[in-house]
Chain A
């Protein structure tokens, strides 16, 4: 039958995607959004505290009622019916509307905060003024655009977190993980820094510090003004600074060794929290092609190199400007950084070279040469820092990576590229954790013998674009740098093939030619056991 249709499109015709209670819920949420929009267009609300509460409560209530309409009358289990038929989750009209609105919001937030009502020296107006009462309640200060963003961010994670928990109520791993991200976002990212600001006075100043935001994700942690405020805050400030350094050098490696990078990316991190809750309806949009993986590896590791160079330059400049204050001089610091990176790479080369693909080897050596070359230029020339000024590097990084990549593209394009574009292609923290997860960690996703039927649910719903099936159908454990351990592949698998586990390093990666279930002799013969 050579006339078989080559057109592979199927015209799915699902039942109406919104039921009546979901329509009411959408209306309530739109009402909450409308208050914020009116405020943005300088409609001055008389009782700001009341209207802000009404707006935020309407938004949360709308999402909760929407979830109720979606999941209340359903049995416990996977809820992916019609995902590819709906406009919002299949890059349709509503996906583009949402994507463009979010992108617009981020552009204004980062580059034109005056349109949100930010005023220097005088009272705020517009949207930011609406948030003043809440900000004064928490920290005692007027709101900024970042406070508005932080509040909306946390509210969104709370509301969609509840939706996510409802959707995956049969899955305890997902429930506990979501409660964890809700907690860290609300307490560590939102409330604690505001309360810390309350301690500030004229002679005592702590920098804004989200304790769980680790360098290099928190790329401004070691900037001059930040370090200066830490140091001038006395013992508490120094303790916080030391905690920041220990976070990346000690705490992170230990936890990643024991649990994989998921302890951070899908249990603690704020970006991860947004991706896993608000971004959940878009996880299937990630690009699974091999070529996307190749691009990902070069881009994310380049960002890592960029942030390392940038931070080294910034700290070196700081030390140079304050050369009389510390025992640590610029030159000693640069030599330390250079030696550390060299030793690290030598260790990887000696112990893990066989696990690195050819391009990874080229990349590792290439990047090390570039970094050492830059350090050397600086060390010997003395005046100019690297090829650019440290400040230029810092602002370029902040603009390109901090604003455009993580915000405008990373979150704004959720409905087009999927929910983890930033985490996958851009986050230097994820890159560090990923390197460790791939090379020195107990974490893996175990494949269950020969039970895989290659259906593709796991790959489809992997937000990081990992072709999970490619491993599962080979009977191979999934050990990938990018895996954030969200656990959804395991949840959607209809045959119980995948399990996230921390286990022994021995035989963690075990490629098989013949899967379990066939002739034992043949398996032994071909699997080289």
Chain B
């Protein structure tokens, strides 16, 4: 028996995603306090990023659970499968939708996001949805189970979830029309040449990619179901049985409106992830930083940042007040067959300032490329995007901390390679392209 004090602090966590669960695990490692995790989505924690693999038949739901079901009891983490409808910070209570309430000493809000809807006509029809939650996946199964019931799907919004949804639907042979607002896929984030490589790859997977296209209206079949969409630019009507809304996500904070917690786009927190209300913290997708951290956005709906906030807030809860200070930015994704990794900052043409210079290398097969960003005068390395080539996080992170130059990075690129053994190496080709481009600049 572990020592348990008579008065045990009760930490309540709303949300059993990566942020909430990471916080719970780290609190448990350092404390014997009572911990409750509330979620209405699923009984047990699962990996949201793996939802696509369920629809594609790569995995079953049980495979997406990072911890076996015995884990929670063994670590004395109480799971409550219920929906929180209201907070009462004055009484330190959370109220459940189906009645009942739960008291807390400290409360962590890790309530995640919901898909954006921009007021399009017809956006609440049946067969129109985002892809975020387990329930979204169930509804996708209902409206797009196969290409007999779903003759065509339209996806609105060219980001990471949009392209995942396109890949998912294409594995069931459902034709997909993909509406992207920018002139190139994910063009507000990626440099033009990286984005161009993806445009080609998307098309090679038989996706009807419509660039510079906005949604005007979603049409109803008269019985409350979607029957098509109209494109804003051309007025073209595209018949479809399913519409995926993947134009980003925003914090899921509607239930907090009258709680007294300060809200912006998300739940406003200081560097210690504390809200304006004593003993209430917010982490993950739903948290909005009051003061920006480096070049990061105030709201970051990314798996890794959620996890890092969970790691950090646990220290504060356990008595070691710790500021959230994420290190170098990193992220990754997979676009159909092409893996993507990014470290540091590589901005798109639209977002980058004049001092940021890019070096781009591309393989002739059109499935591999890299873009290195560096400062024009000092030549200090700012960040790197790779497509189809894996990099070693530790090495690139160290180079960023050491403020190495772009020349150093390209010369030592082999040390950062993380591709499987025996894979073909492209560093020599990259280095010779780099030397040529440097000479051109000098001459």
Contacts and interface: CB of A to CB of B under 8 A. Distances in A.
Question: Is chain B found bound to chain A in the same assembly?
Answer: yes
Interface of A: 1-2, 4-6, 8-15, 75-78, 80-86, 170-173, 176, 289-290, 446, 448-451, 453-457, 459-460, 469-470, 473, 487, 490-492, 494-496, 499-501, 513-522
Nearest to A176: B422
A278 to B, nearest CB: 21
Report the 7 A-B pairs with minimum CB-CB distance, sorted nearest first: A449-B393, A77-B337, A496-B390, A455-B50, A82-B57, A519-B325, A494-B334
A94 B318 CA distance: 54
Which of A2, A13, A448, A496 counts the most B-chain CB atoms under 10 A from its CB? A496
Contacts of A176: 422
A81 B171 contact: yes
Interface in B314-373: 315, 322-328, 330, 332-334, 336-337, 339, 341, 367
Nearest to A15: B173
A513 B66 contact: no
A514 B332 contact: no
A19 B388 CA distance: 30
15 contacts: A2-B97, A11-B145, A14-B172, A75-B205, A171-B420, A173-B422, A290-B68, A451-B341, A454-B47, A455-B50, A457-B53, A515-B311, A518-B327, A519-B308, A522-B312
A519 B312 contact: yes
A39 B49 CA distance: 53
B334 A75 contact: no
A345 B75 CA distance: 35
Contacts of A518: 308, 311-312, 325-327
Contacts of B374: none
B53 A455 contact: yes
B393 A456 contact: no
B295 to A, nearest CB: 15
Interface of B: 18, 26, 29, 40-43, 47, 49-50, 53-66, 68, 70, 81-83, 96-98, 134-135, 137-138, 141, 145-147, 171-173, 204-205, 303-304, 307-308, 311-312, 315, 322-328, 330, 332-334, 336-337, 339, 341, 367, 390-394, 397, 401, 418-424
Contacts of B333: 495
A121 B311 CA distance: 75
Contact of A15 (B63, B135, B172, B311): B172
Contacts of A6: 43
Contact of B64 (A78, A171, A456, A516): A456
B271 to A, nearest CB: 11
Which of A6, A75, A491 counts the most B-chain CB atoms under 10 A from its CB? A75
Contacts of A470: 66
A173 B420 contact: yes
B339 A495 contact: yes
Nearest to B424: A172
A453 B422 CA distance: 25
A8 B68 contact: no
Nearest to A177: B422
Contact of A454 (B49, B56, B327, B419): B49
Contacts of B137: 10
Contact of B304 (A8, A450, A513): A450
Which of A6, A171, A469 counts the most B-chain CB atoms under 10 A from its CB? A469
Contact of A455 (B64, B147, B324): B64
Given A15-B146, A82-B56, A83-B58, A517 B332 contact: no
Contact of B18 (A290, A446, A454): A454
Contacts of A487: 420
Contacts of A490: 420
Contacts of B68: 289-290
Contact of A517 (B56, B324, B326, B424): B326
Which of B47, B147, B397 counts the most A-chain CB atoms under 10 A from its CB? B47
Contacts of B336: 75, 77
Contacts of A5: 138
Contact of B66 (A448, A454, A515, A517): A454
Contacts of B50: 453-457
Contact of A459 (B63, B303, B397): B63
Contacts of B324: 519
B138 A85 contact: no
Contacts of B147: 15
Nearest to A85: B57
B326 A10 contact: no
A14 B49 contact: no
Which of A1, A2, A84, A454 counts the most B-chain CB atoms under 10 A from its CB? A454
Contact of B311 (A9, A86, A522): A522
A469 B64 CA distance: 10
Contact of A501 (B326, B421, B422): B421
Contacts of B83: 1-2
A521 B401 CA distance: 13
Contact of B397 (A10, A80, A449, A492): A449
A84 B59 contact: yes
